[in-house]
């Protein structure tokens, strides 16, 4: 029989292996499987909690119908993500005495996020839209230490890539109704680097990278019966992203949006958007926003967005957002800031045989700057 010390050490190694599997497969289910959703369109959208389909520069094929002049907009993005993982520590009586941090990660990146160009021609509107749909950037890092707290190895699992959409748009504009259609051409390079670093030996590195592409169609309309009320709807077809050996499938989506601006000296708009996505389980995304207009040139915005993960509906992400916009002659500038937190309190880690309660603390910070020009 093996000595008790070695039995205990083998058991601990098995627990750490299961824990590693738990973190990789459950910590960010979206990133590992289908990407982490980008819930906003541009800075205007981000300031309103991600609401988009009823905005003039929104993610609705009918949005060009709200413009009577040639219009161009662009957006830059800064993203910062932070994540800590730990285990609850118990004393010999079973009392929780604190949290033992096992890893702490931080990810920063910048990239163009959104651009659109709309051109009116009588009752027709033609346009082109470029935007990011799914984000695969995620870094996992874990340190293994011996009984003397010396590092034995460092495991780093780095996912990267973004899925972009390039979409020609055509819309019809009538007195109070706008209708639109777009054909999305989706593409993206998605990769993974799994690295194991040993202090006293050669490193082990595994890499893979795939170029995905696919097609999606969208239909939408916006109703504007008066200056106080606006109603929008978008239908997006089911689609797949494929490369030579792999495929990612995304669901059919219905999205409805509503805004109301009561008459008053200080115009204030209240906005709501709800999306229904038909994954294996149907999930809903909820977005709420308020926009104040000050002396016809400045806009103050704040919003709220909440949605579950599609592969683990018990995992919810909550985003609080702020925004500011200013308009001068034919130019517009918008700033958006979002703070998000993913809640794993109700996560199901069953089947991994981990007795300790794993704690995840994940936050995200999004900062966008947008500009627009009317010609």
pLDDT in tens, 199-236: 888 888 888 888 999 999 999 999 999 888 999 999 99
- 326: domain CATH number is 2.40.160.60
Q: How many CA atoms lie within 13 A of 97 on its CB side?
A: 7
Residue 312 in tokens? 């683990």
Report pLDDT for 87. 65
Question: How many domains is the chain built from?
Answer: 1
In a domain, 144, yes or no: no
Alpha carbons 102 and 112: distance in angstroms, whole number? 34
DSSP bridge partners of 324: 300, 335
Q: Is 251 exposed, middle or buried (0-12, 13-18, 19+ CB in 10 A)?
A: middle
Question: Is the entire prediction scored with pTM above 0.85?
Answer: no
In a domain, 50, yes or no: yes
Instruction: Inform me whether the pLDDT recorded for 37 exceeds 80.
Output: yes
In a domain, 328, yes or no: yes
Alpha carbons 31 and 35: distance in angstroms, whole number? 4
In a domain, 205, yes or no: no
Q: What is the DSSP string of 86-138?
A: EEEEE-TTS-EEEEEEEEEEEEEEEEEEEEEEEEEETTEEEEEEEEEEEE--E
Host domain of residue 279: 4-133+163-185+216-374
In a domain, 93, yes or no: yes
Length of the chain in terms of residues written:
375
Mean predicted confidence (pLDDT) in 238-259: 91
Q: Which own/partner pairs from 223-228 qualify as long-range (CB within 8 Å, at least 24 positions apart)?
A: 223/176, 223/177, 223/178, 224/66, 224/176, 224/177, 224/178, 225/176, 227/261, 228/260, 228/261, 228/262, 228/263
Instruction: Inform me whether the pLDDT recorded for 323 exceeds 90.
Output: yes
pLDDT in tens, 350-365: 444 444 556 677 888 8
In a domain, 202, yes or no: no
pLDDT in tens, 170-184: 999 998 899 999 999
In a domain, 323, yes or no: yes
Q: What is the DSSP string of 164-231?
A: EEEEEEEEEE-SSEEEEEEEEEEEEEEEEEEEEE-TTS--EEEEEEEEEEEEEEEEEEEEEEETTEEE
Alpha carbons 49 and 53: distance in angstroms, whole number? 12
In a domain, 346, yes or no: yes
């Amino acid at each position: 029989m093996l000595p008790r010390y070695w039995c205990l050490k083998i058991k601990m190694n098995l627990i750490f292996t299961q824990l590693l599997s738990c973190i990789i497969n459950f910590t960010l289910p979206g990133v590992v499987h289908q990407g982490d959703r980008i819930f906003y369109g541009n800075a205007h959208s981000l300031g309103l909690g991600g609401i988009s389909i009823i905005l003039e520069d929104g993610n609705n094929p009918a949005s060009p119908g709200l413009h009577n002049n040639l219009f161009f907009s662009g957006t830059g993005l800064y993203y910062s993500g932070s994540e800590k993982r730990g285990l609850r520590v118990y004393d010999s009586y079973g009392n929780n005495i604190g949290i033992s941090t096992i890893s702490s990660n931080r990810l920063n990146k910048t990239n163009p996020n959104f651009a659109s160009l709309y051109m009116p021609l009588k009752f027709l509107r033609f346009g082109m839209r470029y935007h990011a749909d799914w984000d695969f950037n995620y870094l996992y890092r874990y340190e293994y230490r011996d009984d003397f707290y010396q590092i034995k190895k460092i495991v780093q699992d780095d996912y990267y890539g973004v899925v972009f959409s390039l979409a020609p748009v055509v819309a019809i504009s009538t007195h109070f109704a706008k209708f639109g259609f777009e054909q999305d051409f989706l593409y993206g390079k998605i990769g993974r680097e799994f690295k194991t670093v040993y202090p006293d030996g050669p490193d082990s590195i595994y890499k893979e990278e795939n170029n995905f592409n696919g097609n999606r169609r969208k239909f939408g309309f916006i109703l504007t019966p008066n200056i106080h009320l606006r109603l929008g709807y978008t239908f997006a077809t089911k689609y797949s992203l494929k490369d030579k050996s792999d495929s990612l499938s995304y669901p059919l989506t219905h999205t409805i949006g509503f805004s109301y601006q009561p008459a008053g000296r200080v115009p204030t708009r209240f906005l709501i958007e709800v999306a229904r996505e038909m994954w294996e389980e149907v999930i809903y995304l909820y977005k709420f926003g308020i926009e104040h207009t000050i002396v016809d040139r400045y806009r103050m915005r704040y919003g709220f967005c909440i949605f579950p993960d599609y592969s683990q509906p018990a995992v919810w992400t909550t985003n609080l957002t702020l925004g500011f916009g200013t308009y001068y002659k034919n130019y517009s500038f918008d700033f958006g800031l979002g703070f998000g937190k993913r809640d794993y309190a109700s996560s199901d880690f069953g089947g991994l045989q981990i007795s300790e309660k794993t704690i995840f603390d994940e936050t995200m910070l999004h900062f966008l700057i947008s500009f627009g020009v009317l010609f």
